Structure formats: structure tokens, C-alpha cells
Amino acid sequence: MKNYCYLYGPVPSRRLGRSLGIDLVPHKACTYDCIYCQIGKTTWKTMERKEYVPVQDLIEEIERFLRDETSSPDYLSLSGSGEPTLHSKIGEIIQAIKKRTSIPVAVLTNGSLLFMEEVREDLRNADVVLPSLDAVTEGVFLKVNRPFPLFSVEQVIQGLIQFRKSYGGQIWLEILFCKGVNDSPEEILRMREVIDRIQPDQIHLNTVVRPPSEKWASPLNQEEMEKIKDLFGKKASIISGFDRHPVSLEKGDSKEMILKILRRRPLSLSDLLKGIKIPPEILKGSLEALIEERKIRKEIFKGETYYELSEEG
Ligand code: SF4
């Protein structure tokens, strides 16, 4: 799959099978700056909705993909390098996709803009919406999600409740836990009450499994995650390892391609080997060369080596 600006993958996703990613905003425009974010710090924190990428160009790429590519994804996923509902024409984009293919559309969102009626309306035609909600009290919300100043957690919760009332598709709510930040018994108890009001179809529990934006953001262990899952009941499952903002590599071995993909977020050698279609020795050689050139560097996180851009990269 070559020469696409806004499409990437299909990438294997625990929740969505083979998922073709569609990037609606540039890296990294978001309403939040989550401490655990895998794609780096938010450089453009905003709640301004606008046409971040040109709709016409995006639709042409989707048409080209559907016409030329032999791989058929399980989902077309609006996610990528930031918060997709910031794109003011996301509703138009979903409708355009639905007219061209029967492949279901998923939206991976932090849910922060669902308090706006027009955003709820825009997502009406998506087949599945995967919002996140990592906190239900204001102090914890500020600590874990570091939102744009005008947000309050109550507004976000109300947006999710309103969305559930009007939306007929599947809502899979994700909660990502960071040790000592949003995992207190009180917060979890309140989360349960809030989730009862939101009524999602599924609850996906996650923790920090890749290098986070803030090095001090730490994961819960399996036992702690299991305990939380039991508290949330039958709809809950643990999905640690799921990428909210997945990336993929494509054919080719150029160092430019590695740099381009690492610009999205750090990746381990096994991530790179899964996605890139070149022999491991050649890939390792390119990585070593980039380290020597000081364009990338290694970082160890929870015993695994990740590659990330260096300051010069
Ligand atoms: S995890 Fe998603 S919502 Fe949080 S800062 Fe990163 S891009 Fe934004």
C-alpha cells in the first residue's frame, strides 16, 4: 500500500480485526494531552473544529484504496494522530464512506466533544464508536487527560450519556488505568456508577503497555486489572496491548520510511518486524544506521527496547 497521505495499514487490532486507519487530523492535534499517550505530547491542544485535512483528497484516497488494494479490512477506522472528532466534516466523511463500501466504520475518539450536538449527529452513521473515559472526578481527569482548559469531566460524561440516548450503533468504552493516578477504589467505584448511566455495549480495560508520553505513567499488573474487571461485570474485558492510535509499516526498507513511522510513536523491534516487509537483518541494519546518525535512539520500557526519534530526528 503506497502513496497514501491519510490512510495507513490495515493493521491488526485486537478490537477491530484488520483495521484500515484513516487519519483526520495532523500529528498531534488533540483536545487532551494524556500522560500515557503513545504518540507523544500534544503539540496542538485545541477544541476548534475545522477541516484539518481536505475532505476531497481524503475521499479520493479512500476510493483509490477500495479500487486498487486487494486487502479487505474488517473496519475502516477513523483515528490516527490525534482526536478525529476535531475534524468538522467527520460526519460527511462517514457518509461518503458508507456510500462507497459496506465495510463497517469505527470511530476511535476520546469522547470529549460529544457534549456538542453536532458531533453526536456527525457520528450517527458510524457502525461502532470507541470512546475513552479515564476519569470521572475533576482532579483525576485533569491529572490523567490534561484537557484543553474549557473542558470539565461532567461535561464529558453528559456528552457520553446524551450520545448513548441518540446513537443506535455499538459503543465500546475504553478506560486506561495508570498506577496511582486513576486506579483508587473511590475513583473506580464512581466509574462504575457513571458507566451504569452511560450504558455502553462493552467496557474495554487497558493499561500502559508502551512508552508513554510521561515516563512516570506506569501500568497496573495483571492481578490488579483482573480485580477491576470483576468489579465492572460481564460487559468488561481486559484489552491491554490494544493500540488506541495504531500505526503500520509498509513495503520498503528505506530509512526515510522508518523515520516517518517513528514520527507517529515509538515502536519495538517486534512491532517493526510485524509490519515491515523486509528481512529482519536489513531492518536491524537500517535501525543501527539511524542510531549512528543520531536520528533515532533506543528506549527501554518495562524490559522491552523501543525505537523513537531523537531530538535531531
Ligand atoms: S491518547 Fe488519544 S486522546 Fe489522549 S492525548 Fe493521545 S491522542 Fe489525545
From the CA of 30, give the closest atom in ligand 1. 8
Chain centre to alpha carbon of residue 267: 15
Chain centre to alpha carbon of residue 167: 21
Rounded to whole angstroms, how far apart are CA atoms 31 and 23? 16
Element at 18 (helix H, strand E): strand 17-23
Rounded to whole angstroms, how far apart are CA atoms 305 and 313? 18
- Digit-by-digit pLDDT tens for the chain (313 residues) are 567 889 987 877 778 888 899 999 998 899 999 999 988 899 999 999 999 999 999 999 999 999 998 878 999 999 878 999 999 999 999 999 999 999 999 999 999 999 999 999 999 999 999 999 999 999 999 999 999 998 999 999 999 999 999 999 999 999 999 999 999 999 999 999 999 999 999 999 999 988 899 999 999 999 999 999 999 999 999 987 655 665 544 444 467 778 877 877 788 888 887 766 666 777 887 888 888 888 899 888 888 889 888 875 5
Ligand 1 mean position, distance from CA 105 (Å): 20
From the CA of 176, give the closest atom in ligand 1. 1
Cβ–ligand 1 distance for 276 under 6 Å, the answer: no
Ligand 1 mean position, distance from CA 34 (Å): 5
Q: Which domains does the chain carry?
A: 7-238 (3.20.20.70), 255-309 (1.10.10.10)
Cβ–ligand 1 distance for 213 under 6 Å, the answer: no
Chain centre to alpha carbon of residue 191: 21
What are the distances in angstroms from CA 83 to CA 71, 90, 95, 147, 302? 26, 11, 19, 12, 27
Going by C-beta distance under 8 Å and a sequence separation of 6 or more, which residues neighbour residue 112?
Answer: 31, 32, 47, 83, 85, 147, 148, 151, 156, 159
Q: What pairs with residue 50 in β-bridges? A: 87
Give 37-86 as a DSSP string.
-TT---SEE----B-SS-HHHHHHHHHHHHHH-----SEEEEESSS-GGG
Ligand 1 mean position, distance from CA 42 (Å): 8
Rounded to whole angstroms, how far apart are CA atoms 231 and 17? 27
From the CA of 132, give the closest atom in ligand 1. 3
Cβ–ligand 1 distance for 110 under 6 Å, the answer: yes
Grid coordinates 496511582 are at which residue?
A: 180
DSSP 132: B
Rounded to whole angstroms, how far apart are CA atoms 197 and 191? 10
C-alpha grid cell for residue 77?
Answer: 477506522
Rounded to whole angstroms, how far apart are CA atoms 21 and 36? 21
Pocket test for ligand 1, best of 36, 244, 247 (most atoms within 8 A of CB): 244
